[in-house]
Chains A and B, each alone.
Chain A
Amino acid sequence: MSTTRRTFLKGTAATAAVLASPGIIGKAAAADKIKLVSILDQSGGLDIYGKPMVAATEMAVDDINAAGGLLGREVELKMYDPQSSIQYYTQYATQAAASDRADVVHAGITSASREAIRPTLDRFKTLYFYNTQYEGGVCDRNVFCTGSTPAHTVEKLVPHAMKKWGKKVYILAADYNYGQIIADWVEKFVRDEGGETVATEFFPLDVTNFGPTIQKIQAAKPDMIWSALVGGAHISFYRQYAAAGMHKSVPIASTTYGVGNEHQLMSAEEGDGILCAYSYFEEIDTPENKAFVERFRARNGGAAAPALNELAVRSYEGVMLWAEAVRNAGSVDRMKVIEALEAPTMIDGPSGAIAIEPTTHHATLNTYIAQVKGQKFQVQETFLAQQPTDTMQVCDLKANPDTVKFYFENGLEAAGIK
């Protein structure tokens, strides 16, 4: 191909226009729309958690826009699907911050994904919401963790279950940072309550044969099982446990069962009697929650809609907390919104009142203990306005606003908690 002066000029002019346009469009759009980016797994192994979270995030943004948007501006939702791969998380987080210039990012399901993108969003000074129940310990002024932590759930469920069933506990947990740290917490709370942990076992996420463990449980004769098993393959445990007739003699307590809607994946016979604790259950009996559940179902295919659980509702309430803070701040400027959130911001969501706890950027929320019966949860006990006391032991962003740390990364002992 020969290059004449004319074609060369045409070419460069076109290239320049293409290169310049994203900047121009980006700025123009930023002036009239507020950008909310969501990064949640809609495919791959984590999609059982991600899909309801995505549906709830969409509903939150639609609700905000239906009420006239924020500060007179429409909120634009941009979604990325990282396909259950950490690599895509970092890629999309960079894209959200650098290219989309997001005003806020709501992202992450596993702790691994959160830790992968947190430094990126810190570096680009992009406000970050992590709306998942997790092991606690993140201390970072740019980050808001709205999910429940072990102090909300495990600390309540351990005494409840021990009073009901007995003091000898056998712990089963998924073999990655979440499971390891949760197992630490369970052991600690069991010890605090004067109980005994007879064994703790960790399972890689793809284990499907739990036979040897079920025999070991029978030999150890515990009073109860604590399950921190995670994901599709681990559902096999509950089913094989029931097939061996064990669910009748040694009951199960868990703070992971149910968020993948396991109670609906299993028959009533297999699931009945399992005790769980979360900051939300679909079955919470308030008019606000009933209305919310009805609207969610109507939007998502009626009877085929996924059951709502803590993950989905946290995604909805996380967006709503951010929106309320933007209204209070009168701006989407990052520092102004952070200060408004610390003021603190509080809302009434489907789970009840939820507020930001300013020293840790976690949430003060209601916790519920419920038991599975006929593929549904029956709420047994309610704890109002519970603080994230686990993270509060190590983190104080008011005194040290420059902290950027995940305290429980190497277990509780490393964080100085006995």
Chain B
Amino acid sequence: MDLYIALALQIVYGIANLVLISLGLAIIFGMMRVINLAHGEFLMLGGYTVVISTNAGVNIWLAMLILAPLVVGVIGVIVERVMIRFLYGRMVDTLLATWGLSLVLIGLVTTIFGAQTATTISPPIGAIQIGDFTSSGYELFLIGVTVVLSVLAYCALKYTRIGLIARGTMQGAEIASALGVSTSRTYAITFGVGAAVSGLAGGLLAPITGVLPSIGATYIAKAFITVISGGTAILAGTLSASTLLGGVNSVLSYITGPTIGEVGLLVVAIVLLRLMPQGITARLFRRSL
């Protein structure tokens, strides 16, 4: 029984982990049809922000929950202003440009901080006991954060004026513009928010993963597959795709091993995209956010 509870927690965490690493990418892709290949590096920068600021004596919670999204959000806005805004509507060009950006960021961070960084931060929450099993309390906290983040994103899009403008710009940029909305500002803010969410995710994952300049590469593929499988609806897409892919990955990893777990995730994604080329939300949950 304890095993099943611990296992269920693990599956939920697998799903939450995917949501967390994909949400920033999904916001940018869903709103602006821009696929940000530097997404992994945004996560990495979030991690570095936390490591560096906690080493400088900042409280770890402050560093993870405030500083990481703030720093990476600002970087996101700068990137949008000097690079992305010239490339709207040119998907292949943005792919190439953001890929270049990711190489630049890896190179910069390596040059400044070296190929290895002393990560001396531990998870601020200890282990929890489930019968005979112990599980990471911090993972439980991450599940909670993911839920709060999803609810916040939903409410922001659904009930606030900014959310309305963002959705309007997403559906018809020209009409929104004709109604007096500054679409270019909306895009800049959206990109910044997407980057900030990525930074938050990177910061939150820093205490339980390695923080290295090249760590982004391990996230980008999974985030990319999740977002494409989910389709353009930001929340419904990310949540449904994460549940499916993360669930399959966790269960298969437990039954067979991580290699088959990873293969399973990819096979499901391929079959899914064969059946629904525009992603889950192009067929199901069509009117959702």
Binding site for B on A (CB under 8 A): 43-45, 47-48, 50-51, 175, 201-204, 206-216, 218-219, 232-236, 239-240, 242-246, 249, 260-262, 264-270, 304, 306, 375
Contacts and interface: CB of A to CB of B under 8 A. Distances in A.
Nearest to A270: B122
9 contacts: A43-B110, A47-B110, A51-B115, A201-B258, A203-B259, A208-B218, A211-B13, A244-B135, A375-B120
Contacts of B120: 266-268, 375
Nearest to A306: B116
Interface string B117-131: 111111100110000
B116 A44 contact: no
- Which 7 pairs show the lowest CB-CB distances between chains A and B? A245-B127, A235-B210, A243-B136, A212-B253, A206-B218, A236-B209, A212-B254
B85 to A, nearest CB: 30
Interface stretch (B3-11, B24-32, B149-157, B188-196): B3-11
A202 B210 contact: no
B139 A211 contact: yes
A306 to B, nearest CB: 7
Interface of B: 3, 6-7, 10, 13-14, 17, 107, 110, 114-123, 126-127, 132-139, 205, 207-215, 217-219, 221, 250, 253-254, 257-259, 261-262
B260 to A, nearest CB: 10
A264 B153 CA distance: 37
A211 B122 contact: no
A329 B184 CA distance: 72
Given A218-B133, A267-B121, A243 B207 contact: yes
Given A202-B257, A245-B127, A211 B207 contact: no
Contact of B210 (A203, A204, A232, A242): A232
A210 B14 CA distance: 10
A209 B207 CA distance: 13
Given A47-B115, A211-B139, A202 B134 contact: no
Contacts of A266: 119-120
A245 B126 contact: yes
Contact of B208 (A213, A234, A243): A243
Contacts of B259: 175, 202-204
A240 B208 contact: yes
Given A212-B10, A215-B7, 12 more contacts: A50-B115, A204-B258, A207-B218, A212-B14, A232-B212, A235-B209, A243-B123, A243-B136, A243-B137, A245-B126, A261-B116, A267-B119
Nearest to A262: B210
A266 B210 CA distance: 8
Contacts of B209: 208, 233, 235-236, 239
Contacts of A206: 217-218, 221
B101 to A, nearest CB: 16
B138 A243 contact: yes
B10 A215 contact: yes
A202 to B, nearest CB: 6
A209 B115 contact: no
Nearest to B103: A43
Most buried by B among A209, A236, A240, A304: A209
Contact of B118 (A211, A219, A235, A265): A265
Nearest to B126: A245
Given A44-B214, A243-B127, A244-B135, A212 B258 contact: yes
A269 B122 contact: yes
Contacts of B134: 218, 244-246, 249
Nearest to A234: B210
Nearest to A232: B212
Contacts of A216: 254
A225 to B, nearest CB: 15
Contacts of A202: 257-259
A208 B120 CA distance: 18
Given A232-B214, A240-B208, A243-B139, A212 B261 contact: yes
Nearest to B117: A265
A239 B207 contact: yes
Given A211-B139, A243-B127, A267 B254 contact: no
